[in-house]
Copies of this chain bind each other. A is one copy, B any other.
Amino acid sequence: MAQVKNNYQFEDMLQKHNLKKTAPRLRVLSMMYSKNTATSQPDLESVMNDIDRVTLYRILNVFEEKGIIHKVFDLNGTANYAVCHSDCQENHHHDEHLHFNCTACKNVYCLNELNIPKLTLPAGFEPQAFTIYASGLCPKCSKKGTAKTN
Contact = CB atoms under 8 A, between A and B. Distances in A.
Contact of A139 (B79, B125, B130): B125
Interface centre among A73, A103, A111, A134 (most CB of B within 10 A): A134
B117 A143 contact: no
Contact of A129 (B127, B134, B140, B142): B134
A13 interface: no
A117 B120 CA distance: 11
Interface in A56-104: 73, 77-79, 98, 100, 103
Given A117-B119, A128-B135, A128-B137, 11 more contacts: A77-B78, A98-B121, A109-B125, A114-B119, A114-B122, A124-B140, A125-B139, A126-B136, A128-B136, A131-B134, A132-B133
